[in-house]
Amino acid sequence: MSLQEKVQVVLKQAKTTIFGQDELLESIIAALVCEGHLLIEGLPGLGKTLSVSVMSKLCDLQFQRVQFTPDLLPSDLIGTMMYNQQKQEFTTKFGPIFTQLVLADEINRSPAKVQAALLEAMAEKQVTIGDKSHKLPTPFVVLATQNPIEQEGTYNLPEAQLDRFMMKISVDYPDFDSEKSILGLKSYSQEVKPLINQNDLFAMKEKVESIYVDEKIKDMIIRMVHATRPGSKYFMKKYDGAITAGASPRASIWLYKIGKFKAFMDGKDFVTPEHILSVVPSILGHRVIPTYEAQIDKLNTRNLVATIAANVI
């Protein structure tokens, strides 16, 4: 079986339990293959947590779920130093972050210092406890779910942390037929058997990295990102007063990597403009900071970056 066929088998199996969330399932695979972190936003009860749990089992990865709450402490997440009275020495107690796949459930329900505890892990793939740094396992991927910020008891994620996420996916209600299918599910806890393993994910990563990207496509990616930055020569005058800050160079890196992943999923060995355009809202949408006036006007940054990107091709 080819690597593409293996991915399709995994997605097909996942869709027998999770209905109407095809984009979310493919994005989780992209996060695992490209080793990027994924932010999943949606109202409660839409299958966000279940999707991550099922995909971790299908891919045979170590998995830990952390429920973020207002009273959660950084040590609950990364671990702490414990004093052993018998040995009269400190020992390290590792937290749930020491795993391959971390589900940070309802990440925006915890205060800033807990969210900040994730920053080092997400960026450096290591954690500092006491005065020692500890490497995290490979692959290490954070899949975080969050409720829309209008919900009661939620805290905005800081821009520095939002930028660490490869993509932000917005999960919507399933359609009529998908929701009807949910009624026929016997049990969420049915046994899910692994279909691929870590070696398959590494092979997919190598295959994705070998996909050809033309110089013109690279130029197009950089133009798209520059066009979101006020002051750049590619920035359109009509968006003056709508954007405070544009996307960072991380956006260029992820457009490049996920464009390759999209080509891999299509069975192509080269990247096309359509592959890049298909992921622009998810990669650039959460990195562009709208002005206060634009927020009052309820400007949709996902739609805005899609329009900007389409205009610079």
Domain annotation for the chain: domains and CATH numbers = 3-72+100-201 (3.40.50.300), 211-311 (1.10.8.80)
For residue 189, pLDDT beyond 60: no
The pLDDT score that the predictor gives to residue 276 is 94
As a whole-number percent, the residues of the chain with pLDDT over 90 amount to 33
For residue 187, pLDDT beyond 70: no
For residue 141, pLDDT beyond 60: yes
Q: β-strand 63-67 against 101-105: which pairing, if any?
A: parallel
- H or E segment and range at residue 39: strand 37-41
Q: How far apart are CA 216 and CA 30, in angstroms?
A: 24
Most confident range (mean pLDDT) of 105-114, 124-133, 205-214, 228-237 is 205-214
CA atoms within 13 A on the CB side of 130: 11
The pLDDT score that the predictor gives to residue 152 is 66
Indicate the burial class of 97 (C-beta count within 10 angstroms; 0-12, 13-18, 19 or more).
buried
For residues 58 and 25, the answer to whether their CB atoms sit within 8 Å is no
The pLDDT score that the predictor gives to residue 278 is 93
- φ and ψ at residue 253, rounded to 5 degrees: -60, -45
For residue 150, pLDDT beyond 70: no
For residue 183, pLDDT beyond 90: no
- Distant-in-sequence, close-in-space partners of 58: CB < 8 Å, separation ≥ 6: 10, 13, 14, 192, 193, 194, 195, 196
Question: Of 69-78, 85-94, 138-147, 203-212, which gets the smallest average pLDDT?
Answer: 85-94
Q: What is the pLDDT of residues 268-282, one digit of tens each?
A: 999 999 999 999 999
